A and B are shown apart, each in its own frame.
Chain A
């Protein structure tokens, strides 16, 4: 018997006195959409705390869509923070949904969002708290169907064993198809394995249990994944894309949080996809093709969304909003409409040229905080290697324009450990920052020079699946630490501040990005040693992972920094965003020559293969500049 769907808030309420931020757990927000009565119940869970998970745009879209389906009710859940999780375990309260305060285990389907690799220990944490078996293979007829989807599914193997099905790509249509298929088979009394087999035939659905790891022929030590003998399932699961992006609801947000969120504002997705082709970037491949909304749709969505939600800020979201062919027009129209309301418009990142600064200026108003630019690499040579099509002149023009327009704080974002990086490239980062600071001293009036701040933020390159750098090794953490010291020593100006990411976290992120099914026991081992919320710097402790790895005989550093040969089958090639292997190989070879590839939304097709493979194409609403 499945445990009953019932309101258990009275079990949770006594615990609210013992935890920080009780508003994470109380529900009753404005604008929730679930219904009390439903034939089929879904719960979507974000594997982090409420204030991180609620603003997630993907889950917001899916919550809205499912709740508009006849007979389906969709609720939300988030992972309780450690204080609450511990209190719930002590009091024997299982993980509950928000709206109905019902046990997750009582739902028909529980859908996990997979935001990034570092969320991995939170899946066993959530399942354990919910009283649901951690592994798909151990679940029986009474357990809910546990599915997953999100941006970080393009090497699903390290977490695949936790899920009955993983939805690859955009979920607007496929999640509904999966739920309806499940509902129909449930009503027909189908067994769990019959349901899984049927789900595997829904396009874009990867059912890990029907596949197995194989080590025949040239492959990495993690093997590769093929359909199990006798299973009639696709050998490659291609991602889904929504056929007509402009027909989707541009304002899916309805739930108004009480708690202050990480991103506490209205979000309107103005375009999807980015074709700039930075070779390290996974999103740049997996979100293609590029599809823009029209300015009319964006402006009316913003005005309507602000009125319905009461937010005082709207963010125009995408991977590169300033690339929208009508960005300038959209901002000008919004500024006119929102004058004197105290409502702010924001765009998530700046293009690295004077146009980017013009756009930043349009949304900045009187208050000019910091401006962040991402040259990614210090030297032109290395920027060509990674296909960051930005020159030193672009950067100078952009930062000059920013200082002239009144910004005083500029942050430069770089990656360290990029393929082919040499010491001179690290020194070039320092030189670029020094030059930017000197430029500021030249441009900014004397009286304001004290406010000038230039900082460098340097993360560690992580080779990601489905990118031209998927064969590359991560630079060993000891070497990363040496280069971080070299960077510190190379900055001449004491006013330039240097921040760099923790090499420990990056090491683990590489292991989780590159490994196969062999990494799952490592995740469970670390979780059993107390690892959870690993994306939170103060919660992350590499020693738990090292202990778990030692027990399993896994060498974390070897997994992160062993390069793969071009002729090897990789652990993730059975799921695909539609990109052709030949394109990734060609891009990889071009990177070795320092040869760049243009952006297909500004020139002609560069042959990545995604459009023909998944039957879609770029949709631009104007000319891109």
Chain B
């Protein structure tokens, strides 16, 4: 390929979902799948120069295994300008329904990377309480307040010992009862180079306080999906990502008004 600087590039920003069973995909699995979607869509993607050429595409921050999302993003660099509705349709037709695109528009080629722009993430966590703990749902808000006041949560990830700075990463939170068994925890979090909140670490800490006794001081190991005692099952969903500007105003990741968005038609890949 000729000199990349001599070539005009177009940067398509796409919002997509990660839902249903595909929540169990790891970040690398999602990346590989999106790259294959782009190739199946036949879009004129740009290729990096150098030793092992690969598609020029950048993603928003990694979503853990088991976490779903309504608002993941990637920036795809194209060598030709394909009208947005056409590019969107082609991506859509090449996607499994649970990783389908929902929004797309061109942005400034020189804009900062998604991971540099996005500084706020909101998670909704559905907590399906174990039978013995159903009545303890109302204690959750107090426990999180206590955890916030106690400083960082220590945990182990692989061989490394890490600290989660709760106070620095949680901008606000809310706990509400959904039904007799289910609590809804909403977390508005800050994301920066210093760190991001891994919701499952907070849940592991919460579980230890809810159960109490000697278990309260049990070390936390980040294993992906946590196997908890007081919480029978939980679903984490990333429900928004925002750019926080210098005035502390939250702005959308893509500021467009007339964009293709449509009810998602079922492709032949079934969804849960």
Interchain CB contact under 8 A, B36 and A342: no
Min CB gap B251→A, angstroms: 32
Min CB gap B268→A, angstroms: 8
Interchain CB contact under 8 A, A28 and B51: no
Pick from B26, B51, B224: contact of A367, CB under 8 Å: B51
Q: Which of B38-46, B111-119, B182-190, B257-265 contacts A (4 or more CB under 8 A)?
A: B38-46
Q: Does A26 contact B (CB under 8 A)?
A: yes
Min CB gap A68→B, angstroms: 16
Q: Which of B17-25, B146-154, B208-216 contacts A (4 or more CB under 8 A)?
A: B17-25
Q: Which of B52-60, B129-137, B156-164 contacts A (4 or more CB under 8 A)?
A: B52-60
Min CB gap A403→B, angstroms: 19
Pick from A18, A22, A256: contact of B33, CB under 8 Å: A256
Interchain CB contact under 8 A, B51 and A307: no
Question: How many residue-residue contacts, CB under 8 A, span A and B?
Answer: 89
Name, among B32, B50, B270, the residue most crowded by chain A CB atoms within 10 Å (CB to CB).
B32
Q: Which of A126-134, A135-143, A309-317, A519-527 contacts B (4 or more CB under 8 A)?
A: A309-317
Q: Mark B218-241, 1 if CB is under 8 A from A, else 0.
A: 000000111100000100000000
Given known A26-B22, A27-B21, contact A258–B29 (CB-CB < 8 A): yes
Interchain CB contact under 8 A, B37 and A310: yes
Interchain CB contact under 8 A, B269 and A23: no
Q: Does B254 contact A (CB under 8 A)?
A: no
Min CB gap A330→B, angstroms: 21
Which residues does chain B contribute within 8 Å of A22, judged by CB atoms? 24, 65-66, 224-225
Min CB gap A363→B, angstroms: 14
CA distance A367 to B48 in the complex (A): 14
Which residues does chain B contribute within 8 Å of A264, judged by CB atoms? 32
Given known A28-B270, A310-B94, contact A256–B36 (CB-CB < 8 A): yes
Name, among A14, A258, A308, A340, the residue most crowded by chain B CB atoms within 10 Å (CB to CB).
A258
Which residues does chain A contribute within 8 Å of B51, judged by CB atoms? 366-367
Pick from A9, A310, A366, A367: contact of B36, CB under 8 Å: A310
Please name the residue on chain A nearest to B65 by beta carbon: A22
Min CB gap A353→B, angstroms: 28
Pick from B26, B40, B52: contact of A23, CB under 8 Å: B26
CA distance A26 to B51 in the complex (A): 35
Pick from A27, A306, A342: contact of B47, CB under 8 Å: A342
Pick from A260, A308, A310: contact of B35, CB under 8 Å: A310
Q: Does A535 contact B (CB under 8 A)?
A: no
Min CB gap A106→B, angstroms: 19
Pick from A16, A27, A310: contact of B66, CB under 8 Å: A16
CA distance A78 to B249 in the complex (A): 50
Q: Does A247 contact B (CB under 8 A)?
A: no
Name, among B21, B26, B30, the residue most crowded by chain A CB atoms within 10 Å (CB to CB).
B21
Name, among B25, B28, B53, the residue most crowded by chain A CB atoms within 10 Å (CB to CB).
B53
Q: Does A259 contact B (CB under 8 A)?
A: yes
Please name the residue on chain A nearest to B267 by beta carbon: A30
Interchain CB contact under 8 A, B47 and A28: no
Interchain CB contact under 8 A, A311 and B36: yes
Q: Does A341 contact B (CB under 8 A)?
A: yes
Pick from B40, B47, B269, B271: contact of A340, CB under 8 Å: B47
CA distance A342 to B37 in the complex (A): 15
Min CB gap B144→A, angstroms: 22
Given known A17-B227, A27-B21, A28-B269, contact A312–B29 (CB-CB < 8 A): no
CA distance A610 to B38 in the complex (A): 47
Pick from A28, A306, A309, A341: contact of B21, CB under 8 Å: A28
Which residues does chain B contribute within 8 Å of A367, judged by CB atoms? 51-52
Q: Does B102 contact A (CB under 8 A)?
A: no
CA distance A366 to B233 in the complex (A): 49
Q: Mark A7-33, 1 if CB is under 8 A from B, else 0.
A: 001000010111001110011111010
Min CB gap B178→A, angstroms: 20
Please name the residue on chain A nearest to B42 by beta carbon: A307
Which residues does chain A contribute within 8 Å of B66, judged by CB atoms? 16-17, 22
Interchain CB contact under 8 A, B54 and A342: yes
Which residues does chain A contribute within 8 Å of B35, judged by CB atoms? 310, 312
Interchain CB contact under 8 A, A258 and B22: yes
Q: Which parts of A338-382 form the interface with B (CB within 8 Å)?
A: 340-342, 366-367
Given known A23-B29, A26-B24, A312-B54, contact A17–B226 (CB-CB < 8 A): yes
Q: Does B75 contact A (CB under 8 A)?
A: no
Min CB gap B7→A, angstroms: 11
CA distance A302 to B252 in the complex (A): 42
Which residues does chain B contribute within 8 Å of A26, judged by CB atoms? 21-22, 24
Min CB gap A9→B, angstroms: 8
Q: Mark A205-227, 1 if CB is under 8 A from B, else 0.
A: 00000000000000000000000
Which residues does chain A contribute within 8 Å of B53, judged by CB atoms? 342
Which residues does chain A contribute within 8 Å of B248, judged by CB atoms? none
Name, among B38, B50, B227, B269, the residue most crowded by chain A CB atoms within 10 Å (CB to CB).
B269
Which residues does chain A contribute within 8 Å of B37, judged by CB atoms? 310
Interchain CB contact under 8 A, A309 and B33: no
Which residues does chain A contribute within 8 Å of B96, judged by CB atoms? 28-30
Which residues does chain B contribute within 8 Å of A259, judged by CB atoms? 29
CA distance A308 to B224 in the complex (A): 33
CA distance A306 to B40 in the complex (A): 8
Interchain CB contact under 8 A, B225 and A309: no
Q: Mark A292-312, 1 if CB is under 8 A from B, else 0.
A: 000000000000001111111
Q: Does B6 contact A (CB under 8 A)?
A: no
Pick from A27, A307, A341, A342: contact of B40, CB under 8 Å: A307
- Beyond the given pairs A9-B21, A342-B53, A342-B55, 16 more chain A to chain B contacts, judged by CB atoms under 8 angstroms and listed by A's residue number, are A18-B227, A22-B224, A23-B26, A26-B22, A29-B269, A30-B33, A256-B36, A258-B25, A258-B29, A308-B40, A312-B36, A312-B54, A312-B55, A342-B48, A366-B50, A366-B51
Enumerate 9 A-B pairs (CB-CB under 8 Å) in ascending A order.
A16-B66, A22-B24, A22-B66, A30-B269, A32-B269, A258-B32, A310-B40, A311-B36, A340-B47
Q: Which 5 A-B pairs have the closest CB atoms?
A: A310-B36, A17-B225, A310-B39, A310-B40, A22-B24
